[in-house]
Structure 1
Amino acid sequence: MSPFRRGVAGVIVAAAAVFAIATPASAHDQLLASTPGDGEQLAVAPTSVSMTFSGELLVLDESAAGAVVLVVDESGTDWTDGPVTVSGSTVTAALRPDMPVAGYQVRWQVVSEDGHPISGVIPFTVGDAEPLALAGAQPSGERESSDTAASDQIADETDGVLRTLIVAGGGAALAVAAFALYRFLRRPRTAAAPPESGAAADDL
């Protein structure tokens, strides 16, 4: 293979490697586990809630700004007690004592390692109670925060669609380039034509 062909092949391989590495790195962090778990029924009220994510979460300062955790009942009462603690990929929030038998929701929002806010809801129950539906009442003071979280979620989904389109377009371009390289490498070399006998005779 000629140096030119080796160079073209190297460029295409390098571009493919960049796409392969960059694509998973752009994904948001995911919730891996929580205590209480999703839909868990507890015999006694918990003293705290904790969540573990797939990456190290971002915080704006030592007060864990950017991380929000609410534990609400059907009436919208928040049972968290004190500030939220963020340590690496773990978020913890203490709870007030004497939580009654009822259904609850852990409503959380954190800042992913890639800088995007992510949020979710974890339902659980204490005692023999009905689970709290996802459409349960919200405290009036938290409605604005909930609307903001919904807007951030929509922005995240739009960003994900655009990222998918960009990656798909890049993959298609690489496929076309690889096919062109294959055709180029498979093309037979053309031998140089010998000088015509008449021209050689004239030159003598």
Structure 2
Amino acid sequence: MRRFAAAAVLACLAFVGLATPALAHNSLVESNPRDKASVEVSPDSITLTFDQPVQPGDGINTISVLDPQNNHWEAAPPQVDSSTVSAPLRPLGPSGEYKIAWRILSADGHPVQGQLSFTLSKAGNGTPLPADELAKFKNGAGAAQSDTSEDSGGVPTWVWIVGAVLVLGVGIVFALRMGGKDEEA
């Protein structure tokens, strides 16, 4: 019986020892401009700050800025610097609400997306991104790409669960076999 108890304790320790920290998606903690802010002058860029580092990846991390007529205003693909993602903007044009749609590759390997908005209270004199440049962005060069990728490169959670169950199962089988030999002796 002592061997069974020892084997059970070892199996539990192995289970706990192999456990990984909970994998969680990144969360947006700050933006510039802030969500629902009102600005008088066009910002030079959009900056998003997350609670964990963002994984770099061409065409995966995107920031799109749309005016009330759904014209795009991003000037270049976003840049990732640890937990900060930023993208330059073209000088904005009409006043009104602008939507910021973003997608990033989270620290756990899964894509995360969201949307913010800000209001330009005074019209600027900028022009939106031309359609031919927008097509270049959509072909893998930048922020306006909208299709989502399921192949995130991260290890799925179910793999860890199956592995832990197998280790626990082997420990229990080992403990039961050792327990039977102990009683016979």
TM-score by length of 2: 0.63
Larger Cα-atom Rg: 1
- Equivalent in the alignment of 2:7: 7
Distance 2:8 2:92 in 1: 70
What does 1:95-174 align with in structure 2 at a 5 Å threshold? 95-127=89-121, 145-146=145-146, 148-149=147-148
1:34 aligns with 2:28: no
Between the aligned partners of 1:28 and 1:105, the Cα distance in structure 2 is 22
SS at match of 1:123: strand
Q: 2:83 aligns with which of 67, 89, 92?
A: 89
Task: Quote the Cα distance in structure 2 between the aligned partners of 1:59 and 1:65.
Answer: 9
Distance 1:71 1:119 in 2: 14
Aligned partner of 2:62 in structure 1 is 68
CA deviation vs aligned residue, 1:44-75 (integer Å, no higher than 9, x gap): 32111101122222223xxx442211111111
Runs ≥4 in structure 1, deviation > 4 angstroms?
139-142
Deviation at 1:11, TM superposition (A): 1.4
Richer in helix (by share): 1
Q: Distance in 2 between matches of 1:100 and 1:51?
A: 23
Shift of 1:163: 5.0
What is the aligned length? 155
Deviations 1:72-131 (A, max 9, x none): 1111111111232111111111111243321001111121222222211111111189xx
3-state DSSP class of the match of 1:8? helix
Letter in 2 for 1:59: P
Secondary structure of the equivalent of 1:69? strand
Report sequence identity in percent.
28
1:67 and 1:94 map into 2 onto residues whose CA distance is: 14
- Greater relative contact order, per chain length (Cα 8 Å cut-off, separation 6+): 2
Give unpaired runs (5+ residues) of structure 1.
130-138, 157-161, 178-189, 191-204
Q: What SS does the aligned partner of 1:52 have?
A: strand
